[in-house]
Amino acid sequence: MLDIKFLRTNPDIVKQNIKNKFQDDKLPLVDEVIELDKEYRDAKTRAEFLRSQRNKISKQIGMLMGQGKKEEAEEVKKQVTDMAEELEALSVKETEYEAKIREIMMVIPNIIDPSVPIGKDDSENVEIERFGEPVVPDFEIPYHVDIMEKLNGIELDQARNTSGNGFYYLRGDIARLHSACLSYARDFMIDRGFTYYIPPYMIRSSVVDGVMSFAEMENMMYKIEGEDLYLIGTSEHSMIGKFIDTIIDEKDLPQTLTSYSPCFRKEVGAHGIEERGVYRIHQFEKQEMIVVCKPEDSKMWYDRLWKNTVDYFRSLDIPVRTLECCSGDLADLKVKSCDVEAWSPRQQKYFEVGSCSNLGDAQARRLKIRIRGEEGTYLAHTLNNTCVAPPRMLIAFLENNLNEDGSIRIPEPLRMYMGGKDKIEVPS
């Protein structure tokens, strides 16, 4: 959410930013919120004047009564009563204006970083860099579900019977591999100085409003019936929410956290849920990174975060690339974002396995996350990034570590989490 003072003094910048995000339907909102803000400030100024006048003339009542000027005192009382009624009406107006302004400001997108490429949608995202040499073996790579089924590692029909499409049972060595990837990611991030957390898996609506846009919420979040609670779509939601309405001393920054959680998503939209596969599903698990820092440090932390994901995948010999998200592909709260994509030998192309985002002070403004410095308090910057999110990550892992006989190589970093195994064999 933007600072209303910034919007008031820079309406053209805000409008151009809206155009750069190809959201021209929101352009009228800028003028509307400026007019509402003027009316709100006028009402506030009038209320402050009336309070000061009321205080002055109220003192006259006792003096007039003491002088026996009862009629004049009654006239002053009437003025005080009229002022009180007008103040009450102004208070109602102020509340209405404030609520409407906030409602509109929650919809106007954040100002994107100047380095973000301008484009309508994800088809116009820009490749930044590749890491590792993509390899296509001289044998056919089956679909990831077929690989898992050959290893007795997945049960989709049974999950469909219990829960519907978008769910799965993992079993045996594939389930263990899934957990191994998460355990390794946890230790990988701890070794990089991040504090490990397991957060709440449900959050209140006030936190949801603070961490994401309304459109994202509608397409992602599951509401708990009869409760002011939502299932989290990512642990970023809980972890940023942890700082709601807090003031952090500069000496305690940056806050660098890594969190594990299951994630629950409706996945409403154009992509839909896969009937057979685990790429786009309702439930998965993730190891996340979260940073709360000073504004001048957020660019540095953004680069460090996405590099952590690249380093994690490269330590498992999985080729990856980074892709800069264009303006039209950025969620409204984001200043800048890039995807980390893993190589798929079967499809002979890259696909998304993680996303790194700098949200500037947008979440901090909504949740009142402030920093105490020598010259007063100011808003923090927040960032988040995916370290690993199986089972999607398993697709890349299985395809890049598949042997011709159907067995799976286990890279050295994962072996301690797999009981020392260096291979998953096909059951006889």
Sequence ranges of the domains in the chain:
4-105, 122-424
Q: Going by C-beta distance under 8 Å and a sequence separation of 6 or more, which residues neighbour residue 164?
A: none
pLDDT of residue 275: 66
pLDDT in tens, 162-189: 999 889 999 999 999 999 999 999 999 9
Element (H, E) at 17: helix 11-20
- Give the residue among 193, 234, 245, 260 at the shortest CA–CA distance from 380: 245
pLDDT of residue 277: 85
Q: Is the pLDDT of residue 159 over 70?
A: yes
pLDDT of residue 207: 94
pLDDT of residue 69: 72
pLDDT of residue 109: 95
- Give the residue among 370, 349, 353 at the shortest CA–CA distance from 313: 353
Alpha carbon 241 to chain centroid, angstroms? 11
pLDDT of residue 80: 77
User: 């003491």: which residue's tokens?
Assistant: 66
pLDDT tier at 226 (50, 70, 90 boundaries)? very high
Its sign, for the CA torsion 209, 215, 217, 218, is: positive
pLDDT of residue 245: 97
Q: Average per-residue pLDDT in the chain?
A: 93
pLDDT of residue 58: 67
Q: Is the pLDDT of residue 86 over 90?
A: no
CA dist 278 and 45 (Å) reads 58
pLDDT tier at 53 (50, 70, 90 boundaries)? confident
User: How far lies 9's CA from each of 2, 99, 249, 276, in Å?
Assistant: 12, 21, 30, 52
pLDDT of residue 428: 83
CA dist 297 and 242 (Å) reads 21
User: 């989709």: which residue's tokens?
Assistant: 156
pLDDT in tens, 124-147: 999 999 999 999 999 999 999 999
Percentage of the chain exceeding pLDDT 70: 94
Q: What are φ and ψ of residue 62, in 5° steps?
A: -60, -40
- Written as six digits, the tokens of 115 are 């380095």
Mind giving me the DSSP string for 261-311? EEEE----SSS---SS-SSS-SEEEEEEEEEEE-GGGHHHHHHHHHHHHHH
The most confident of 64-78, 263-277, 337-351, by mean pLDDT: 337-351
pLDDT tier at 273 (50, 70, 90 boundaries)? low
Helix then strand then coil, % of the chain, to nearest 5: 45, 20, 30
Upstream peptide bond of 117 is cis (omega within 30 degrees of 0): no
User: How far lies 194's CA from each of 110, 189, 305, 364, 388, in Å?
Assistant: 28, 6, 11, 20, 15
pLDDT of residue 384: 98
DSSP symbol at 221 = P
Place domain 4-105 in its CATH homologous superfamily.
Serine-tRNA synthetase, tRNA binding domain (1.10.287.40)
Domain 122-424 is in which class? alpha beta
What is the average pLDDT across 230-240? 95
Burial of 357 per CB tally in 10 Å (0-12, 13-18, 19+): buried
Q: Is the pLDDT of residue 160 over 80?
A: yes
Q: Is the pLDDT of residue 243 over 70?
A: yes
pLDDT of residue 334: 96
pLDDT of residue 179: 97
The interaxial angle of helices 172-191 and 298-315, nearest 10 deg, is 140
Q: Is the pLDDT of residue 61 over 90?
A: no
pLDDT of residue 271: 60
Its sign, for the CA torsion 238, 244, 249, 254, is: positive
What is the average pLDDT across 354-378? 96
CA dist 107 and 333 (Å) reads 9
3-state secondary structure of 134: coil
What is the average pLDDT across 256-272? 83
Mind giving me the DSSP string for 23-89? -GGGHHHHHHHHHHHHHHHHHHHHHHHHHHHHHHHHHHHHHHHHTT-HHHHHHHHHHHHHHHHHHHH
What is the average pLDDT across 390-416? 96
CA dist 167 and 147 (Å) reads 18
pLDDT tier at 199 (50, 70, 90 boundaries)? very high
Q: Is the pLDDT of residue 270 over 60?
A: no
pLDDT of residue 107: 93
Element (H, E) at 126: strand 126-131
**Looking at 360-422, which runs of residues are DSSP E strands?**
369-373, 376-379, 381-388, 408-409
pLDDT of residue 59: 64
What is the average pLDDT across 381-400? 95
3-state secondary structure of 404: coil
pLDDT in tens, 291-332: 999 999 999 999 999 999 999 999 999 999 999 999 999 999
pLDDT of residue 272: 60
Q: Is the pLDDT of residue 87 over 80?
A: yes
pLDDT of residue 64: 61
pLDDT in tens, 97-117: 999 999 999 999 999 999 999
- Give the residue among 90, 247, 274 at the shortest CA–CA distance from 168: 274
pLDDT of residue 65: 67
